[in-house]
């Protein structure tokens, strides 16, 4: 068992969501001497830009006639590097609590606790969570014999596994778990896979060697008792349904965004968005801010550039909370030696 070195942290600002807007907030906060910790459910920074459209060109980032989601993420990571933010990836912020000393405490589903006077919710469309197939009684089996991710491979040792999906996750886990499973079957809606061609050909070899089965069909029914799957009924296109015996179903239909535990943080919500003022981008709760796609206000446009603007204004108010006794001076990075020192670009200082 590897134990994490540290589970409790204290910082100036906690940012929920490491998408482009959360990342740029690190920069704006950093210029004003505030340190940030970021929490994201994905395994890497970039949010939607990295998860949904890393290769797609974006045309409305000021100063970049065209830039891909991944390039924008990489540039933002380079831009905030001088402020060395701390990332808590692969985890979801699950609890927000006010402490007796006036600070906020955020807990994650990976048992990390962070304390700070300011929390910024930059969660975009919410947390990326697995898409679920539309099958009756699915919930009954979830977490017991139906899964949407593999956390520990050993869990599936000796199981009779059916994997559903046609992308890289489905194919990778088919190949990785096939040697461990007592029986392995892959099911996809068509005999064409968007996963890496190499994985697809390895899978087809296993099928040809009778080491696994391939079914071109859709799942229509689950059979079992007390959450333990015994078989599924699948229906091939235009043909009669049939049963496949299996004790484990792994479904990989991609991810979709859901608001998740933020809904229970006690903030005012309007149609799953967080209303804020347009001066400080603060929520109904003092010290809790919201920027980017997840907030709403009259005239709101869900654009990355709006989120950048919001992060700059939010940082001004965050400063007043983090440093109540300091005077806030507005400075430009072009002229302020003080800011240039922070960015590590002032030669005299170096």
Partner 1 sequence: MKIFVTDPEGKEHALEALEGWRVMEIIKDYGLPLKAECGGACCCATCHVYVHEDWVDKLYEMRDDEEDMLDEAIDVKDNSRLSCQILMSEELDGLKVTIALGTEI
Site residues (vs partner 1, CB under 8 A) = 48, 52-53, 56, 125, 131-134, 165-167, 188-190, 192, 194, 218, 237, 253-254, 256-257, 272
- Of the candidates 40, 185, 200, 225, the one whose C-alpha atom is nearest the C-alpha of residue 126 is 40
Closest distance of CB 257 from partner 1, Å: 6
Comparison of 192 and 325: residue with beta carbon closer to partner 1: 192
Quick count: other Cβ atoms within 10 Å of Cβ 215? 17
Based on CB atoms, which residue is closest to partner 1, 3 or 240? 240
C-alpha radius of gyration, the chain, whole number: 24
- How far, in whole angstroms, is CA 287 from its chain's centroid? 23
Residue 189: CB minimum distance to partner 1, A: 6
**Which lies closer to partner 1 via its Cβ, residue 116 or residue 274?**
274
Q: How far from the centroid of its chain's Cα atoms is residue 60's Cα?
A: 23
Q: Mind giving me the DSSP string for 55-103?
A: TSEE--BTTBSSEEHHHHHHHHHHHHGGG-PEEE-S--EEEEEE-TTS-
Q: What is d(CA 33, CA 35) in angstroms, rounded to the nearest whole number?
A: 7
Nearer to partner 1, 269 or 343 (CB): 269
Minimum CB separation of residue 284 from partner 1 in Å reads 22
Q: Distance between CA 195 and CA 173 in Å, rounded?
A: 12
Which residue, 183 or 188, has its beta carbon nearer to partner 1?
188
The CB-of-52 to partner 1 minimum distance in angstroms stands at 5
Nearer to partner 1, 44 or 132 (CB): 132
Sequence-separated (6 or more) residues with CB below 8 Å from residue 66: 57, 58, 59
Q: Closest Cα partner for 186 from 201, 198, 203? A: 203
Token pair of 148 as six digits: 């949407």
Cα 158 to the center of its chain, rounded Å: 31
Q: The tokens of 291 are what?
A: 């920027």
User: For 142, which DSSP code?
Assistant: B
Nearer to partner 1, 144 or 190 (CB): 190
Contacts of 247 (CB under 8 A, 6+ apart): 145, 159, 160, 161, 228, 229, 230
Nearest residue (CB) to partner 1, 132 versus 309: 132
C-beta of 328: minimal distance to partner 1 in Å? 36
Shortest distance, position 104 Cβ to partner 1, whole Å:
28
**Smallest gap, in angstroms, from Cβ of residue 267 to partner 1?**
19
Query: Closest CB to partner 1 among 82 and 167?
Result: 167
CB of 288 to partner 1, least distance (A): 24
Rounded CA separation 123/119 (Å):
12
CA–CA separation, 184 and 180 (whole Å): 9
Q: If residue 314 lies in a helix (H) or strand (E), which one and from where to where?
A: helix 304-322
CB of 55 to partner 1, least distance (A): 9
């Amino acid at each position: 068992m590897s134990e994490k070195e540290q589970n409790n942290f204290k910082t100036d600002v906690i940012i929920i969501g490491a998408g482009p807007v959360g990342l740029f907030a690190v920069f704006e906060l950093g210029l004003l001497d505030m340190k940030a910790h970021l929490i994201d459910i994905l395994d890497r920074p970039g949010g939607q830009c990295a998860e949904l459209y890393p290769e797609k060109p974006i045309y409305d980032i000021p100063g970049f006639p065209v830039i891909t989601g991944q390039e924008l993420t990489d540039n933002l990571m380079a831009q905030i590097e001088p402020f060395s933010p701390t990332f808590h990836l692969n985890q979801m912020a699950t609890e927000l609590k006010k402490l007796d000393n006036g600070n906020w405490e955020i807990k994650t589903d990976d048992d990390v606790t962070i304390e700070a006077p300011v929390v910024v919710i930059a969660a975009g469309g919410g947390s990326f969570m697995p898409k679920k197939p539309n099958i009756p009684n699915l919930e009954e089996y979830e977490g017991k014999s139906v899964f949407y991710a593999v956390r520990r491979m050993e869990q599936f040792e000796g199981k009779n596994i059916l994997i559903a999906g046609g992308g890289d996750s489905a194919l990778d886990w088919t190949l990785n778990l096939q040697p461990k499973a007592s029986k392995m079957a892959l099911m996809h809606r068509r005999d064409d896979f968007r996963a890496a061609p190499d994985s697809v050909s390895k899978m087809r070899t296993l099928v040809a060697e009778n080491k696994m089965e391939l079914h071109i069909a859709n799942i229509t029914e689950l059979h079992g008792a007390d959450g333990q799957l015994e078989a599924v009924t699948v229906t091939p296109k235009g043909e009669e349904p049939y049963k496949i015996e299996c004790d484990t179903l792994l479904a990989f239909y991609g991810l979709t965004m859901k608001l998740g535990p933020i809904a229970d943080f006690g903030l005012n919500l309007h149609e799953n968005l967080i209303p804020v003022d347009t001066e400080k981008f603060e929520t109904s709760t003092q010290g809790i801010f919201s920027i980017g796609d997840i907030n709403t206000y009259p005239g709101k446009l869900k654009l990355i550039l709006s989120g950048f603007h919001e992060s700059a204004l939010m940082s001004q108010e965050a400063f007043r909370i983090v440093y109540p006794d300091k005077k806030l001076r507005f400075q430009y990075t072009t002229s302020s030696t003080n800011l240039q020192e922070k960015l590590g670009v002032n030669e005299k200082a170096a």
